[in-house]
């Protein structure tokens, strides 16, 4: 979704500002990290305000929530839940990449294949994965397999579609180059086609990774399979708001972890790509 280029260190102003002015303009209090911290503090204050004006215990204060989280971190329950959610996520995304990327690339490489599968994919990808929760429950009950059904049915499509799009984006001049310089199929594939499709495939992967976590938590919340989602649900049913909020924070932290993982993978695979170059 967001393609943040690597920007300079926080606090740097445009190079056109002469150093002298820069010294004067930027005091410690207007540097970027401080500003970012200030925004977060403000959000925290808003949260605290909400906690006080709503009926007692319906919105636990930040202190209460993080206190609960700290307590939980000492118990086994939260780590088991995190492990379960993380494992499901991993299996889901690995399966989708293994099947989805080659499938998408194959489909995209052939005009006929793209045309033939267009309607089918268009229809099937629009079936909200949540709709499959009842089917999964019928087949497997509240288990990881049920969640995986959900996860894969939703995560594979962005990967297939983006990979298919990627395969069509090969630079025609590079095709001519490969022909004239007698590169042959193997070299074409490994040195031109695959590096060329990687940026687009990564975009699909980014979206897919987020959807994968979303669906994992959804499956747990609704299907009752063990994991962070179930804990949230249980806490809500048991009216334990601080615990519920604490687990939501855990879910958010997992989300951040997933984002960082993908970001790191992108930086490694795409260090040559324009979006990672020095901004002109």
Partner 1 sequence: MTSFGSEQIMTQIATAALEAAALGHHYGPLHVLRDVTFDVRGGEFVCIVGPSGVGKTTLLRCLSGLQRPSAGAVSFHGAQVAGPPRELALVFQDYSRSLLPWASVVDNVALPLRAAGMRKRAAAEAAKAALHEVGLGRADPSAYPWQLSGGMQQRVAIARALAYQPSIVLMDEPFASVDAQTRADLEDLVRRLQVDLGLTVLLVTHDIDEAVYLSDRIVALAGSPAGVAEIVEVGLGSARDQLDTKLLPRFAELRAYVYRLIRGARADQATGN
Partner 2 sequence: MMRTARRWLYVSAIELWLPVLLAAAWWFASRDSASAYFPALRDILTSFRLDWLSSAGAQNLRPSLTVLAAGFGSAVVVGVAVGAVLGLNRGFERATRPLLELLRAVPGVALLPVFIALIGIGTDMKILLVASGAVWPILLNTIDGVRSTEPLLIDMAVSYGMGGGRRLRSIILPAAAPQIFAGARTALAISVIIMVVGETVGAQGGIGYFLLAAQRSFQITDMWATIIALGVLGYLLNLLFRLIEAVVLRWHRLYQARLGGPRR
Which one of 94, 194, 256, 261 is in contact with partner 2 (CB under 8 A)? 256
Q: Which is nearer to partner 1, 102 or 195 (CB)?
A: 195
Three-class HEC string of 53-81:
HCCCCCCCCHHHHHHHHHHHHCCHHHHHH
- Cα separation, 181 vs 161, whole angstroms: 31
Rounded to an integer, what distance in angstroms lies between the CA atom of residue 133 and that of residue 188? 43
Residues 92-121: x where in contact with partner 2 by CB under 8 A, - otherwise, as a string: --------------------x--xxxxxx-
Token pair belonging to 134: 């009842």
From the list 152, 158, 142, the residue with the least C-alpha distance to 94 is 152
Q: Is the CB of 5 or the CB of 187 nearer to partner 2?
A: 5
In angstroms, what is the minimal distance from the CB of 191 to partner 2?
23
> Rounded to the nearest whole angstrom, what is the least distance from the CB of residue 260 to partner 1 in the complex?
24
Q: Which is nearer to partner 2, 36 or 71 (CB)?
A: 36
Cβ distance 147 to 216 under 8 Å? yes
Which residues make up the interface to partner 1 (CB under 8 A)? 171, 173-174, 176-177, 179-184, 187, 191-192, 195-196, 272-274, 277
- What is the C-alpha separation between 208 and 61, in angstroms, rounded? 33
The Cα 272–Cα 280 span in angstroms is: 15
Distance CA 18, CA 192 (A): 44
Structure tokens at 256: 């951040």
- Which is closer to partner 1, CB of 2 or CB of 182? 182
Q: Count interface residues toward partner 2 (CB under 8 A).
A: 65
167 binds partner 2 (CB under 8 A): no
Residues near partner 2 (CB under 8 A): 1-3, 7, 10, 32, 35-36, 38-40, 43, 54, 58-59, 112, 115-120, 122-124, 126-132, 134-135, 137-139, 154, 207, 213-214, 216-218, 221-222, 228-229, 232-233, 235-236, 241, 244-245, 247-248, 251-256, 258-259
């Amino acid at each position: 979704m967001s393609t943040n280029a690597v920007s300079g260190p926080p606090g740097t102003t445009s190079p056109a500002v002469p150093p002298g002015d820069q010294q004067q303009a930027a005091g410690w209090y207007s540097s970027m990290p401080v500003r970012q911290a200030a925004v977060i503090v403000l959000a925290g204050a808003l949260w605290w305000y909400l906690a006080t004006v709503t009926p007692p215990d319906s919105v636990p204060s930040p202190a209460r929530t993080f206190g609960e989280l700290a307590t939980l971190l000492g118990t086994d329950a939260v780590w088991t839940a995190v492990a379960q959610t993380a494992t499901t996520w991993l299996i889901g995304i690995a399966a989708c990449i293994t099947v989805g990327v080659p499938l998408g690339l194959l489909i995209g490489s052939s005009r006929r294949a793209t045309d033939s599968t267009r309607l089918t994919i268009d229809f099937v990808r629009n079936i909200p994965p949540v709709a499959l929760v009842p089917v999964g429950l019928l087949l497997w009950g509240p288990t990881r397999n049920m969640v995986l059904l959900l996860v894969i049915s939703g995560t594979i499509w962005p990967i297939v579609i983006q990979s298919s799009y990627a395969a069509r984006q090969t630079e025609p001049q590079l095709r001519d180059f490969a022909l004239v310089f007698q590169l042959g199929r193997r070299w074409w594939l490994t040195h031109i086609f695959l590096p060329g499709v990687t940026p687009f495939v990564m975009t699909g992967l980014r979206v897919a990774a987020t959807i994968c976590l979303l669906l994992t938590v959804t499956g747990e919340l609704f299907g009752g399979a063990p994991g962070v989602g179930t804990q949230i649900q249980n806490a809500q049913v048991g009216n334990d708001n601080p615990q519920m909020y604490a687990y939501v924070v855990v879910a958010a932290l997992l989300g951040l972890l997933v984002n960082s993982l993908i970001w790191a993978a992108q930086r490694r695979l795409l260090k040559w790509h324009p979006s990672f170059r020095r901004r002109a």
